[in-house]
Each structure stands twice: as structure tokens, then as C-alpha cells.
Amino acid sequence: MEAFKEHDGLVVPFDRINVDTDQIIPKQFLKRIERTGFGEFLFYDWRYLDNGDSNPEFVLNHSRYVGASILIAGINFGCGSSREHAPWALQQYGFKVILAPSFADIFRNNCYKNGILPITLSAEIIAAISQRAKNTEGYRLMVNLEEQSVVCPDGTVYTYQIGDFEKYCMLNGLDEIGWTLQYEADITVYENHNRL
Amino acid sequence: MKKTMYEKIWDAHLVRASADEVPILYIDTHLVHEVTSPQAFEGLRLNNRKVRRPDLTFATMDHNVPTTDRSLPIKDQIAAKQMETLAQNCAEFDIPLYDINSPDQGIVHVIGPELGITQPGKTMVCGDSHTSTHGALGALAFGIGTSEIEHVLATQCLLQHKSETFEIRVDGTLPYGVTAKDIILSIIGHIGIDGGNGTVIEYTGSTIRSLSIEERMTVCNMTIEAGARAGMIAPDDATYEYIAGKRFAPKGEAFDKAVEQWKQLPTDDGATYDRTLTLNAADIAPQVTWGTNPGMVTDVTGQVPNPADMQSTDEKQAAEHALAYMGLRPGTPMTDISVDRVFIGSCTNSRISDLRVAADVIKGRQVAKTVNAMVVPGSQAVKRQAESEGLDEVFRAAGFEWREAGCSMCLGMNPDILMPGQRCASTSNRNFEGRQGKGGRTHLVSPQMAAATAVTGHFVDIREFTS
């Protein structure tokens, strides 16, 4: 996994609550056996019209948000299916950071494992950032992981919480399986003790 | 110290718990299917890693499989490749596989309990959010992503944070026509689809206790639709009776010993949960969803709600969007809504008891001319059992299609999908936009309600239909 230290990126406000992973990446794209190639199918049913053309109404298709890498989402983002194809699609589209008042549990876990930083901030702060992104074309945020901060162009700083281990893994691009395997002796002891 | 069942199972599976690290949790059983596993096996190969415990890993094909004649070649080449890849991976890593031609093939959450793989006190994972189903037998079971699948394959462990505990107590006798599906839909309607985020739910109370094991599976299955990772129900005599004699269950003396251990699992008297909610079974009516998530649900006697009555702007917008997608107007009585399709199946409601109650409703009746209806048994074993009881004939005679086992139109990864604009009464678990096919409109209901809807062509209060 690529390490995440800090990220300066264009913000796109996405005013929908309870966005489920079926919307993030519809099921017809889950048949691939590769880990790549999902970005073009992100939000497929919303992003494209029935004839395959780009849907001009959909926020990601607005020219001012092309190249956005920070998504401002509503409550419970990523609910539903455990498909890791959802963070793969977001990451391969170009998103590095998602800010929301809350995330679904499995989705949040899957984000950490793919170098996407899911940041939880209060609904009021999310609404304020979303409004500023709508008011100001080219609105950007600077997200720092070491300092656990989101810095706005006007200098306002919001701090966020993240688990120590998740932070460590992301800062170092850690291979979590390698981490667990260093305790292989403990696993064997556990198995022997429990006659597994 | 008094402990909840979740805490007992958690503590018993800790391989390593250091204050400043994420705990390492041992996984007793890993269930694998074709859709979320190929990238995990590829990861193992790239890093030159092995599967640590193929003997604790079980695989089947369910999401992609066609439910039509299995002797014909699979038309969808990409799906076929994914199934072939699973077969190759299982062969390479020595994992037992119940493939499309196996007599044991079926939806992973149907065959786990059916084969006796699911047992009280176990930790179980699968790359599928409905793994929560297995908690019905007192296991701690939850869905994981593909990176975590790779982690479990390589280490038989997971790095996991402990969840909060949430007791949902349901007391009293279930009214006539009200089912396990209605209990869980009603719970989700109460707490919302994020109401269980960060928690593991334990269902308690006399109503839950009175449910059969298969009904308990329906409740635990949809726990994820309330956002909780896992749902659990303490094992009891019904659980032990269900497991006894199953293929992977302990036998003879080992079984008696296991039961003695399982009896230690229920939450201690006086143990406390982080949160508690109590519901009265008498207050629950047959449920029908009206919107695009399982929390958008109402009594069958209710009406499509008015977004203007919603509390927050976000909810109002979400409801407006949902009604536009669903093609519904506020104030419409639920029983006035007509359907084009009926789907009886999925890991929520495709077990033999589900098919029996649906067949009871259907018997001697006909599917409405305007409706296309299908039954997809959860497993080949369920299909065989149903056929031995003549249920397939009951469904066929009424005009239902009788299919082979798989996930089918619950998520429409195979050819079983809704056409744009089609409306479906479905016994599945998710009414998300496009879930059953782009533009398809899904209403979640119990098997009884789905069967009655197939007959009348519109939603109907099962209490009036059959009483």
C-alpha cells in the first residue's frame, strides 16, 4: 500500500446520505478478477446516462470538479455490501480522502487498506465545508495525517480522530499481513492451546 | 466479571492483545465465494504466501451462478472466468470447494449452517456482509473486505477493534402473520440503517427465543442492514438439536462435550450492554419497504410517506429521491401498489421453512397474470428437500418458476435481473437503487407476503389474505 502523509486536493461536495456500495460500484462490475480497472465504473448508474453518455447533472461530471480528490459525503457513507471494489473504484478514480459525518464500518476498514483516508467530522463542519466548496470554484483542502488536521484555504484548521494503528499503517504504507505474521509463534501457540 | 456472549467469544479468540496495538483475533472458520476472493488469492501469490489453514476454509459458488439448467454452458464469459478462477485457486491452495455441480452447492450463508460448519462460540468470516447470518447459532460472524480475506487466508487471524455491545430485546407472542422478516425490518425501521454502526447486536427476549433456528438466521442476516457488523442469538436446546448429526458437527461424546461448552456462552446474568432497546412483538405488523434502503419501511396497512414530514433536510431529500426512483406518490396505501415480479430467495429467506410457508399461501391459487414469479432455493439441499415434499409442484402449478440454487436476483450478478421500471416484491435484504437491475424497484417483504402478492398482483395484508 502507498504511504499517506498529507494531501492537497480539489474538493467535491456530494450531498447524499446513506450512499451504499451498490451505488459506488454496481454489481455488474464485480466480475473482474483483477484489482484494477474499477475507476471508470465509479458511481456508474448515476454518472452515465442510459446511452452511455456522461450524465451532465451528476456532480462528478461538472467541469469545475474534474480532478477532485477529496470527497465530501453525507452520513453513513459506504453502507451495505462489504465489496472492497468500492474503495478500489474511488481510489482508482483519484480520491485520496473522504470526509463525512459517519461511515459504515466495513467500508471504513476497507478504505484504510487501500490508502484512502476516511475522516469523520461533525455534521456542522461537513455542511460548512460542503457549502464553501459550492460557493468557491477550485476550493481545495490540505489534509495532514501526522497532525490529524484538515486545513482550509482561509487558515481554519479542523482536527480529526484516527486509531493509532490505522494511522501508523497509513503513514508507513504498512503490509498488515506482514505485521500479523511477525506474531506467527503466538498464532501457533494459540492453535496448539485450543487444539485447532 | 460478568460478560456478554460477544465478550466471551472475543476474549476466547484473542491471539494477542497489547494496549497500543489492534488486537489479533483468531478466526475459526473462513467461508469463501467467487466474487470477493480472486484478488486475495492473487495477493498471496504475489507475496509468495500460503493459506495457513485450508482445513478451516470452505468455498462455494453462489453470487454469479445461473439458476437455469446447469447442464448448459454458462453464457456470461466473465462470470464463468470468475468461477473457474475460484476452482483453480481452491485446487492450488487445497481448499474444499462446493462448486456449481456439487450437491452441496448453495448460498454461502445457507450451506454453512446446513453442513454443520456454523457452530456456537466460533469466530467466522466471509467476504460478504451477510455473514452476520451465522450469529443465529451463537457464532461471532461478520463480513470482511478482500484485503481482510487475504489476511485471514495467510494468517487465520484478523486485526480487529472490539465493537460495542447492543442488546435488542423483543418480548411477547408474535401476532398472526408476523414473521422473523417483519421483526428485523421493524427493528431497522426503528433504529435506522446506521443505528447499529460500531456495534455487535445480541437479540434477546421471549419472542427471539421462540423463533426457529432458520427464523433466527433471517433476523441475524439483516443485522448488517442496521449497520452492525454482527448479530447474535444465544444458543439453546433448539440450536443443539439443529446442529446434531450435521456433517461437520462433532459426533457422539465430542458433541456432548461441545454442548457443555456451548452452554457457557450465553450472556451472564447481570452483564451490561453498551446500549439496549426493547420492543414488544405485539406492536409489530407485516412490513413492506417503500424506498431505496431497508430503513425506508412501513406497516403493510400504512402509506407511502410524505417527504415533507421528514425531520431533516437530508432525510427529506433522500425520501424525495427515493420516491422519484421508486415511482411512488406520497399517501398511496401500500396495498394499492402493484408489482411485476416476485422473487422468493436470497440468504435472508430461501431456506426450507421459507419455501414451506410460501407454498402454504400459494397452494391451490394462481400467480396473477400480470406477475412473473420465481423461487430460487438457497442451496441444492434445500431444493432437494423441497422437491421431496412436493413444494416445487405447488409452486409450478401456481405459475412460479422453480430454479437452481444461488444468490440470483437478490443482487442480479447472474442473468436474473429486473428490467428498468419493473417493480418487485422480494424476500431479499436490500432495496438499494439498481440492486436487482438498473432502474428496478424493489420492495422487501416476508416469504408469506411475497407469495400473497404474487397471487393478487399487489401488496396485500397477509393477515386478511390467509385468515
Facing residue for B15 by CB, picked from A81, A87, A186: A186
- What is the residue range of A86's domain? 6-193
pLDDT tens digits, residue range B191-250? 999 999 999 999 999 999 999 999 999 999 999 999 999 999 999 999 999 999 999 999
Instruction: From B210, B223, B189, B221, select the one nearest B349 (Cα to Cα).
Output: B221
Instruction: From B228, B125, B199, B165, select the one nearest B7 (Cα to Cα).
Output: B165
For residue B222, the chain A residue with the least C-alpha distance is A80
Q: Assess if residue A113 is contained within a domain.
A: yes
In angstroms, the CA B57 to CA A47 distance is 38
CB within 8 Å: A79 and B227: yes
pLDDT over 80 (residue B466): no
CB within 8 Å: B36 and A106: no
Average per-residue pLDDT in chain B?
Answer: 97
Reported as a pLDDT band with limits 50, 70 and 90, residue B47 is: very high
In angstroms, the CA A163 to CA B147 distance is 18
pLDDT tens digits, residue range B98-130? 999 999 999 999 999 999 999 999 999 999 999
CB within 8 Å: B129 and A80: yes
CB within 8 Å: B143 and A82: yes
In angstroms, the CA A19 to CA A47 distance is 14
Mean pLDDT computed over B396-413: 97
pLDDT over 80 (residue B427): yes
Residue from B27, B193, B346, B418 whose CB has the most chain A CBs within 10 Å, to mutate: B193
Q: Report the predicted TM-score, pTM, of the whole model to 2 decimal places.
A: 0.97
Q: Which residues of B touch A102 (CB under 8 A)?
A: 194, 197
Residue from B31, B125, B435, B442 whose CB has the most chain A CBs within 10 Å, to mutate: B435
B155/chain A closest Cα distance in angstroms: 7
A18/chain B closest Cα distance in angstroms: 8
- Contact (Cβ atoms closer than 8 angstroms) between residue B275 and residue B166: yes
pLDDT at A2: 83
Measured at the CA of B283, the angle between CA B281 and CA B285, to 5 degrees, comes to 95
Mean pLDDT computed over B366-395: 98
pLDDT over 80 (residue B166): yes
Q: Assess if residue A1 is contained within a domain.
A: no
Q: How far is CA A44 from the centre of its chain?
A: 17
Give me the average pLDDT of each 10-residue run along chain A (196 residues): 94 96 96 95 96 96 98 98 98 98 98 97 98 98 98 97 95 94 97 90
CB within 8 Å: B432 and A23: yes
Facing residue for B161 by CB, picked from A35, A84, A163: A163
Facing residue for A22 by CB, picked from B42, B224, B434: B434
Q: Assess if residue A163 is contained within a domain.
A: yes
C-alpha cell at B29: 472458520
A104/chain B closest Cα distance in angstroms: 6
For residue B55, the chain A residue with the least C-alpha distance is A196
Tally of domains in chain A:
1
Residue from B289, B432, B442 whose CB has the most chain A CBs within 10 Å, to mutate: B432
B98/chain A closest Cα distance in angstroms: 19
Q: Which residues of A touch B420 (CB under 8 A)?
A: 50
A138/chain B closest Cα distance in angstroms: 25
- Contact (Cβ atoms closer than 8 angstroms) between residue B450 and residue B425: yes
With b for 16 or more beta-carbon neighbours within 10 A and e for fewer, the A8-26 pattern comes to ebbbbbbbbbbbbbbbbbb
Q: Which residues of B touch A106 (CB under 8 A)?
A: 129, 143-145, 229
CB within 8 Å of B357: residues ≥ 6 apart: B179, B447, B448, B451
C-alpha cell at A50: 442510459
Q: Assess if residue A39 is contained within a domain.
A: yes
In angstroms, the CA B2 to CA B419 distance is 53
pLDDT at B349: 98
For B279, the 3-state DSSP assignment is: strand
CATH code at A174? 3.20.19.10
A31/chain B closest Cα distance in angstroms: 6
Parallel, antiparallel or unpaired: strands A140-144 and A6-13? antiparallel
Instruction: From B152, B128, B150, select the one nearest B61 (Cα to Cα).
Output: B128
Q: Assess if residue A177 is contained within a domain.
A: yes
Provide the Cα torsion A189, B143, A2, A172; round to 10°. Answer: -40
CB within 8 Å: A79 and B161: no
Residues in chain A: 196
In angstroms, the CA A22 to CA A10 distance is 25
Reported as a pLDDT band with limits 50, 70 and 90, residue B467 is: low
Mean pLDDT computed over B308-318: 94
In angstroms, the CA B352 to CA A43 distance is 37
Q: Assess if residue A50 is contained within a domain.
A: yes
Facing residue for B433 by CB, picked from A31, A45, A102: A45
Q: Assess if residue A72 is contained within a domain.
A: yes
Render B86-148 in DSSP notation, one character per residue.
HHHHHHHHT--EE-TT-TT-B-HHHHHHHTT---TT-EEEESSGGGGGGGGGT-EEEE--HHH
In angstroms, the CA A78 to CA B333 distance is 31
- Contact (Cβ atoms closer than 8 angstroms) between residue B98 and residue B4: no
Parallel, antiparallel or unpaired: strands B164-171 and A70-72? unpaired
ipTM of the complex: 0.96
State whether the Cα torsion B36-B111-B168-B165 is positive or negative. negative
State the CB neighbour count (10 A cutoff) for residue B336.
Answer: 13
Q: Assess if residue A183 is contained within a domain.
A: yes
The percent of chain A in helix, strand and coil, each rounded to the nearest 5, is: 40, 20, 45
For B190, the 3-state DSSP assignment is: helix
Q: Which residues of B touch A15 (CB under 8 A)?
A: 314, 317
